[in-house]
Structure 1
Amino acid sequence: MKAALWYGKNHVRVEEINEPKVTKGNIKIKVKWCGICGSDLHEYLGGPIFIPVGQPHPLSGTTAPVVLGHEFSGEVVEVGEGVTKFEIGDRVIVEPIVSCGKCPACLEGKYNLCSSLGFHGLCGSGGGLAEYTVFPEEFVHKIPEGMSYEKAALVEPMAVALHSIRIGNFKIGDTALVLGSGPIGLATIECLKSAGAKLVIVLQRKSIRQEYAKRAGADVVLDPNEVDIVEEVKKLTNGVGVDVAFETTGAQIGFDIGINSLKFEGTMVITSIWENTVSFNPNTLVFTEKKIVGTLAYRHEFPATIGAINDGRIKAEGYITKKIYLDNIVEEGFGALTGPEKKNHVKILVTPDKGLL
C-alpha cells in the first residue's frame, strides 16, 4: 500500500510499504481523509520532536522512518479477535493515543500523560497518511450518521482545543485571549464561543487569517504590528485583563503577550509545541498569582467533541481549505503549508483514494 513516511527534517516521501495485518483487539481501517497537523509541520521543519530516531519508541518498538498522519477518518474493513464494538463497514474516527495502560498516569485515566506516550502517525505504530492502518478498538469512535468523513477528520484538532479549555478551568461568562489563529487557534476560538465565553480577543497579524478568526467567532482581532495588544486587552476588559489566555503560536511574542494580558489569578494555557526555549521572569506570576499550565492532546474528549460537532454547537465550517491526493503530499501539502500561501490554509485534507477527489 501507499504511505507517507517521515525520514528526517524536510524529508517526507510517499512509498509502497506492507499493508498492516489486524491483530487481537484491533481493527483495520481503510483511510478516507487525513489532515496535516501542526505537529506534522513541526516534525517536517524542525523534527524529530515526537518521532523516535536512533532509539526505538518504547511502545511501538520502531524508529524512523515512520508513517505520518493522526487526524483521520475511515471505514472498518476487518476486525481482530475479541473486538465487540465494531463491524465491517462502520465509519470511524481514530483517537490516535498510543499509551501503555500501566503507568501511574494511565491508571488514573490520564492516558494522554502516559510515561511512554506516543501518537499514531508519529511514534511508528502506523498512521493515517496511508491506505490502511490498524488500531486498538478502545481508541476508535463511530462517526454519527449524517457526519461526513471530511468533517470527522476535524474531530481530532477540535478535541485538542476542547481539552485546553477544560485544563484552563474556563467558565461560562469568562473572557479569553487566543494567541494565533492557525488551525488550533481557530478551533480554540470556536470551542470558547460554544462554551459561553463573554469575550474572545485574538492576536493575529494582518492576513486572511484575521477573517478566519472572525468567522470562527472572535469578537475582536488585534494585530501586534498595529496596536499594543496588552493595552488593548486591558481597555476591552475594564482595565483588568482576561481570565484565560491560550497560547497557540509557539513564539516568544505570544508567550509574553499572553502572560501580560491576564488578570490577577488568571491562567495561561500553553497548547503550542515549541521548537525553541523562552525566557520570562517568574515575578510576573509571583506578584499576581497568575498561572501557566500546559495541555497535551486530549483525554476522554472525543465523544463530547463528536457530539458538539454533530449537533452544530461546534460548526467546524470553513476549516478545509484544500483537498489533495496522497501522492502529492510533499509539494501540495507540506509545500503549501510552509510556502508563500501558508497563511491562506487552515486544514489540508489528504486522501489515498483518488476517487474521493
Structure 2
Amino acid sequence: MKAAKIYGAKDIRVEEVAVPEVAAGMVKVEVAYTGICGSDMHEYIAGPYPIRTQPVLGHEFSGVVTEIGEGVTRVKVGDRVAVEPLMPCGSCENCRRGFVNLCSARQGYGYTHSGGFAEYAVVKQENAFVLPEGMSLELGALVEPTAVAVHAVRQSRLKLGDRAAIFGAGPIGLLLLQAVKAAGASEIFVVEVSEERRTKAAELGATHVVNPLETDAAAFIREMTGGGVEVAYDAAGVQATFQSGVYAVRPGGEFKIVSVWEKPVTFDPNVIVRTEASISGSYAYVNLFPEVIRLLAGGIIDGQAVITSIIALDDLVEQGFEALTQDRKQCKILVAPAK
C-alpha cells in the first residue's frame, strides 16, 4: 500500500509499505479521508516533533472497517468510522486525574503509530467511533479537529450571552467560531488577514470580521464592546495575534490559547496584572468524539464549510502542504488515499 512518510522539514515522501496486520483487539480501516492539520504543517515546515517515533503522518481520519481482530466487539466489518488518534496510557497521574489528553506517556496514531496518510491503518477498537447513517466520511475526518475546538470552548469561561473574539480563521478558527456560536455567544469577532477566510467567517455567523492589516483589532474590539470581550481565542499562533488577543480581553476575562506555536512570544505581563485577566491553554480533547459526531451529524457545526479541497495521496506535498503554505484561500484539505 501507499503511505506518506516524513523524513525532515519539507521532506515528505509517498512510498510503498507493507499493509499492516490485524491483532487481537484491533481493527483494520481502509482510510477514506485524512485531513492535513496545522500541527502537520508545523512538522512540514520546521521538522518532526520529538514525540514522533515512526514516519507515517495523519491523525485526522475516517474510513471503513475491513477486518477485525479477535475479541473486537465495538465495531464490525463494513462500519464507517472516525478514528480518535490519542492513545493515553491510563495509569500515569494525569490519566488517573482525568487529563488523558495530557498523558505523560502519550502516544498517538500519526505520531508514535502509523497514521492516516496511508491506504490502510490498524487501530485499537476503542479508538474507532461508528458514524451514524447519513453522516459522510468527509465529515468523519473533521471529527478530530472539531473536538479540539469544542474542548477549547468547554474549557474556557464562556457563558451564554458572552462576547468572544477569535484570532485566526483557519480550520480551527472557523470551527471555534461555530462552537462559541453554539455555546450561546452573543457577539463574535473574527480577526483574520485573508479576505476569503473573513468572508467564510461572516457566512458562518461572525458578528464582526476584522482585517488586522487595516484595523487595530484589539482597539476595535474594545471600542465595540465597551472594554473587551469575555473570552478571546488564539487559533493562529503568532506574535501579532497573541498581543492583540491579550489586549482584546476585558478586565477579568480570559485569553484562551488553542494554537500550536513555532516561536516564543513576548508580551507585557502588566496587561494581565492590571486587568486581572487570565491566559490559559487548551490541548486536544477528553472523551469528546461521541458528542462531536452528534454536533457534525446534526449540522450544529458545519464541518463541510471548512473543506476547500480533496486531493489524492500522491499529490499530498504539492497540492496539500505547499498549497496551504502559499494559498490563503485554502482551509481544510482532505486527502483521499484510496483515490
Offset, 1:51: 4.4
Separation of aligned partners in 2, 1:23 and 1:103? 25
- Residue number in structure 1 paired with 2:47: 47
Whether the 8 Å CA contact 2:28–2:66 is kept in 1: the answer is yes
**Aligned ranges for residues 122-161 of structure 1 at < 5 Å?**
122-123=111-112, 125-161=113-149
Percent pairwise identity: 46
Identify the range of structure 1 (154-163 vs 228-237) with the bigger mean alpha-carbon deviation: 228-237
Separation of aligned partners in 1, 2:8 and 2:196? 31
The yes-or-no answer on 1:38 pairing with 2:38 is: yes
Separation of aligned partners in 2, 1:50 and 1:88? 35
Whether the 8 Å CA contact 2:3–2:14 is kept in 1: the answer is yes
Q: Residue 332 of structure 1 aligns to a residue in which SS?
A: helix
List per-residue Cα deviations over 1:96-116 (Å, max 9, x = no partner). Answer: 102211101112232110002
Separation of aligned partners in 2, 1:69 and 1:159? 16
Structure 2: give runs of 5+ residues left out of the alignment. none
- Residue number in structure 2 paired with 1:250: 237
Offset, 1:209: 1.1
Offset, 1:337: 1.0
Aligned residues: 339
- Residue number in structure 1 paired with 2:67: 78
List per-residue Cα deviations over 1:110-166 (Å, max 9, x = no partner). Answer: 21100022331123x010010111111222211110001111111111111000001
The yes-or-no answer on 1:162 pairing with 2:147 is: no
Separation of aligned partners in 1, 2:126 and 2:19? 22
Separation of aligned partners in 2, 1:269 and 1:181? 15
Separation of aligned partners in 2, 1:105 and 1:137? 23
Alignment partner of 1:338 out of 325, 334, 339: 325
The yes-or-no answer on 1:172 pairing with 2:160 is: yes
Q: Residue 138 of structure 2 aligns to a residue in which SS?
A: helix
- Residue number in structure 1 paired with 2:269: 282
Separation of aligned partners in 2, 1:296 and 1:19? 32
Whether the 8 Å CA contact 2:59–2:110 is kept in 1: the answer is yes
Q: Residue 334 of structure 1 aligns to a residue in which SS?
A: helix
Q: Residue 343 of structure 1 aligns to a residue in which SS?
A: coil
Separation of aligned partners in 2, 1:173 and 1:269? 18
Whether the 8 Å CA contact 1:35–1:72 is kept in 2: the answer is yes
Paired residue type of 2:75: F
Separation of aligned partners in 2, 1:42 and 1:306? 27
- Residue number in structure 2 paired with 1:352: 337
Offset, 1:50: 5.1
The yes-or-no answer on 1:230 pairing with 2:194 is: no
Whether the 8 Å CA contact 2:194–2:329 is kept in 1: the answer is no
**Aligned ranges for residues 180-191 of structure 1 at < 5 Å?**
180-191=168-179
Judging changes above 3 Å, is the alpha-carbon distance between structure 1 residues 304 and 4 closer, same or farther for their aligned structure 2 residues?
same
**Aligned ranges for residues 287-298 of structure 1 at < 5 Å?**
287-298=274-285
Offset, 1:283: 2.1
Structure 1: give runs of 5+ residues left out of the alignment. 53-62
- Residue number in structure 2 paired with 1:107: 96
Identify the range of structure 1 (314-323 vs 220-229) with the bigger mean alpha-carbon deviation: 314-323
Offset, 1:213: 1.2
Alignment partner of 2:86 out of 72, 80, 97: 97
Offset, 1:300: 1.3
Paired residue type of 2:298: D
List per-residue Cα deviations over 1:290-331 (Å, max 9, x = no partner). Answer: 111111111111111110111121122322111111111111
Separation of aligned partners in 1, 2:88 and 2:61? 19
Paired residue type of 2:8: G
Whether the 8 Å CA contact 1:50–1:122 is kept in 2: the answer is no
Separation of aligned partners in 1, 2:297 and 2:333? 21
Alignment partner of 2:305 out of 300, 318, 336: 318
Give the TM-score taking structure 1 as reference length: 0.92
List per-residue Cα deviations over 1:41-87 (Å, max 9, x = no partner). Answer: 000001223543xxxxxxxxxx34x1011111101111122211111
- Residue number in structure 2 paired with 1:308: 295
Q: Residue 205 of structure 1 aligns to a residue in which SS?
A: coil
- Residue number in structure 2 paired with 1:59: none
Separation of aligned partners in 2, 1:320 and 1:150? 9
Q: Residue 318 of structure 1 aligns to a residue in which SS?
A: helix
Alignment partner of 1:261 out of 232, 237, 248: 248
Paired residue type of 2:275: T
Separation of aligned partners in 2, 1:348 and 1:299? 25
- Residue number in structure 2 paired with 1:56: none
List per-residue Cα deviations over 1:322-343 (Å, max 9, x = no partner). Answer: 111111111111121112xx21
Separation of aligned partners in 1, 2:316 and 2:114? 17
Whether the 8 Å CA contact 2:6–2:48 is kept in 1: the answer is no
Separation of aligned partners in 1, 2:206 and 2:7? 38
